[in-house]
């Protein structure tokens, strides 16, 4: 006997050759196998149609999820490319303030943020100081003059240290002087220098009213990492430049003081047995240019050396050994030198290691 099978994920419908209606319906699970189905022909066709409809709906859901994942991957790729270009541009800024200004402008123009502002903790994190931000009209605003003292019960810093971010779905949105200018979503993410929170990047949706989605929050976290890294590099660079300037200023004062006493400042490297620095005043004292003076030359010109200070009573090799070990911090001797100016001159040289 010829039969026709109609299969669905739940039923197998057997249609005999002598009739166009199903003769039996076999259930696929044990419960329905144990209980013979009383499904009528119309019910069977309706079940088949319902199953096909369910499969089409499921396919649509899966296709929608796939499209969403593809869109997310595309957004991530675009964000990574935009962030890479922004980081390159920020690295070209020549000052800390210029960096902060560009961070606000580029974040809004390239990454889709509504309002942005950058704030930094000062004075042992008891106060917060602005840099640049966005006003109520969407324009760049200089907020460097704004300094606010944190309230004793302000837990925002602790929250940023523990959670790295703070999200308020319905907040009173403020301007740089802390006046309320509207309501909306607010998101704050911390800026780290590697060990401590140095400030934060704040975001709200006052202008566009568009939601600060989880994707936008994650974008802000990654952007904050970029800003914090650049800010830390600039602060270290500025601190290094300041320290170098102060050191050079102090060295110049020392040189002036030594010159006023008729002395010469120079630096001697025991490893290479050479002078790494020789002040130009050596010419006034001995008649030689700085580049002409070598340890061998001074050795041939010197006679009758007498140790002074902590080296008094020591031989030259003993004094050298103690000076190189660090037990003696300053080398002091009275030495007479033959000069090109007068043939013989009594000189008091006090070399100082810079």
226 and 134 share one domain? yes
Q: Which tops the pLDDT comparison, 255 or 339?
A: 255
The pLDDT score that the predictor gives to residue 182 is 95
Establish if 222 belongs to a structural domain: yes
Residue 16 has pLDDT above 60, yes or no: no
Residue 318 has pLDDT above 60, yes or no: yes
Low-confidence winner among 49-58, 73-82, 142-151, 235-244 (lowest mean pLDDT): 73-82
230 and 303 share one domain? no
- Can you tell me the mean pLDDT for 294-301? 81
Establish if 251 belongs to a structural domain: no
115 and 37 share one domain? no
The pLDDT score that the predictor gives to residue 208 is 94
The pLDDT score that the predictor gives to residue 46 is 79
Q: Region of 228 please: left (phi>0), alpha (psi -120 to 50) or beta.
A: alpha
- Can you tell me the mean pLDDT for 30-43? 52
The pLDDT score that the predictor gives to residue 4 is 54
102 and 163 share one domain? yes
Establish if 249 belongs to a structural domain: no
Residue 29 has pLDDT above 50, yes or no: no
- Can you tell me the mean pLDDT for 129-149? 95
Q: Which tops the pLDDT comparison, 45 or 137?
A: 137
- Can you tell me the mean pLDDT for 110-133? 92
Residue 287 has pLDDT above 90, yes or no: no
Q: What tokens were used for 290?
A: 């700085």
User: How would residue 151 be classed by pLDDT, with cut points 50, 70 and 90?
Assistant: confident
Q: Which of 47, 77, 92 is the last residue of a domain?
A: 92
87 and 148 share one domain? no
Domain count, the chain: 3
Q: What is the extent of the structural domain holding 318?
A: 261-347
- Can you tell me the mean pLDDT for 277-289? 82
103 and 221 share one domain? yes
- Can you tell me the mean pLDDT for 68-90? 78
Q: What angle do CA 111, 97, 234 make, to 5 degrees?
A: 90
Q: Which tops the pLDDT comparison, 284 or 28?
A: 284
199 and 173 share one domain? yes
The pLDDT score that the predictor gives to residue 250 is 84
The pLDDT score that the predictor gives to residue 102 is 95
- Can you tell me the mean pLDDT for 323-352? 63
User: How would residue 25 be classed by pLDDT, with cut points 50, 70 and 90?
Assistant: very low
- Can you tell me the mean pLDDT for 180-209? 93
The pLDDT score that the predictor gives to residue 13 is 52
Q: Region of 20 please: left (phi>0), alpha (psi -120 to 50) or beta.
A: alpha
User: How would residue 353 be classed by pLDDT, with cut points 50, 70 and 90?
Assistant: very low
The pLDDT score that the predictor gives to residue 303 is 63
Establish if 256 belongs to a structural domain: no
296 and 216 share one domain? no
Establish if 352 belongs to a structural domain: no
- Which single residue is written with the structure tokens 């299969």? 7
Can you give the chain as a three-state secondary structure string? CCEEEEECCCEEEEEECCCCCEEEEEECCHHHHHCCCCCCHHHHHHHHHHHHHHHHHHHHHHHHHHHHHHHHHHHHHHHHHHHHHHHHHHHCCCCHHHHHHHHHHHHHHHHCCCEEEEEEEECCCCEEEEEEEECCCCCEEECCCCEEECCCCCCHHHHHHHHCEEEEEEEEEECCCCCEEEEEEEEEEEEECCCCEEEEEEEECCCCCCCCCHHHHHHHHHHHHHHHHHHHHHHHHHHHHHHHHHHHHHHHHHHHHHHHCCCCCEEEECCCCEEEEECCCHHHHHCCCHHHCCHHHHHHHEEEEEECHHHCCCCHHHHHHHHHHCCCCCCCEEEEECCCCCCCEEECCCCCCC
18 and 120 share one domain? no
Q: Which residues of 186-219 are buried (b: 16+ CB within 10 A; e: fewer)?
A: bbbbbbbeeeebbbbbbbbbbbeeeebeeebeeb
Establish if 128 belongs to a structural domain: yes
Report the CATH number at residue 97: 3.30.450.40
177 and 280 share one domain? no
Q: What is the mean pLDDT of the chain?
A: 80
Establish if 244 belongs to a structural domain: no
The pLDDT score that the predictor gives to residue 339 is 65
Establish if 278 belongs to a structural domain: yes
Most confident stretch, 35-39, 113-117, 331-335:
113-117
Q: Which of 92, 120, 146 is the last residue of a domain?
A: 92
- Can you tell me the mean pLDDT for 155-160? 74
157 and 179 share one domain? yes
80 and 138 share one domain? no
- Can you tell me the mean pLDDT for 15-42? 47
The pLDDT score that the predictor gives to residue 32 is 46
Nearby residues of 128 by Cβ (< 8 Å), 6 or more positions away: 119, 120, 121, 122, 147, 148, 150, 199
Q: Which of 42, 64, 92 is the last residue of a domain?
A: 92
Low-confidence winner among 77-81, 206-210, 283-287, 349-353 (lowest mean pLDDT): 349-353
């Amino acid at each position: 006997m010829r039969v026709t099978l109609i299969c669905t994920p739940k039923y197998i419908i057997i249609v005999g050759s002598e009739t166009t209606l199903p003769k039996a319906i076999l259930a696929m699970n044990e419960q329905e196998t144990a209980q013979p189905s009383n499904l009528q022909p119309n019910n069977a066709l309706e079940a088949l149609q319902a199953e096909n409809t369910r499969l089409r709906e499921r396919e649509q859901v899966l296709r929608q999820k796939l499209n969403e994942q593809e869109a997310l991957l595309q957004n991530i790729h675009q964000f990574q490319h935009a962030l890479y270009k922004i980081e390159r541009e920020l690295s070209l800024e020549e000052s800390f303030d210029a960096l902060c200004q560009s961070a606000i402008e580029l974040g809004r123009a390239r990454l889709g943020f509504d309002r942005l502002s950058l704030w930094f903790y000062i004075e042992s994190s008891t106060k917060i100081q602005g840099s640049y931000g966005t006003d109520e009209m969407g324009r760049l605003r200089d907020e460097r003059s704004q300094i606010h003292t944190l309230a004793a019960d302000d837990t925002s810093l602790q929250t940023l240290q523990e959670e790295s971010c703070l999200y308020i779905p319905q907040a009173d949105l403020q301007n740089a002087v802390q006046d309320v200018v509207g309501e909306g979503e607010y998101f704050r993410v911390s800026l780290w220098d590697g060990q401590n929170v140095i400030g934060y990047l704040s975001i709200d949706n006052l202008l566009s009213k568009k939601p600060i989605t989880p994707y936008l929050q994650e974008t802000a976290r990654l952007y904050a990492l970029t800003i914090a890294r650049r800010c830390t590099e600039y602060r270290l660079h500025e601190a290094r430049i300041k320290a170098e300037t102060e050191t050079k200023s102090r060295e110049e004062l020392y040189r002036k003081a030594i010159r006023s006493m008729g002395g010469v400042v120079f630096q001697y490297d025991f490893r290479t047995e050479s002078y790494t620095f020789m002040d130009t005043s050596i010419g006034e004292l001995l008649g030689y240019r700085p580049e002409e003076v070598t340890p061998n030359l001074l050795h041939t010109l010197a006679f009758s050396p007498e140790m002074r200070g902590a080296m008094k009573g020591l031989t030259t090799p003993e004094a050298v050994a103690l000076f190189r070990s660090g037990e003696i911090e300053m080398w002091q001797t009275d030495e007479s030198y033959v000069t090109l100016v007068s043939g013989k001159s009594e000189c008091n040289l006090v070399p100082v290691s810079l």
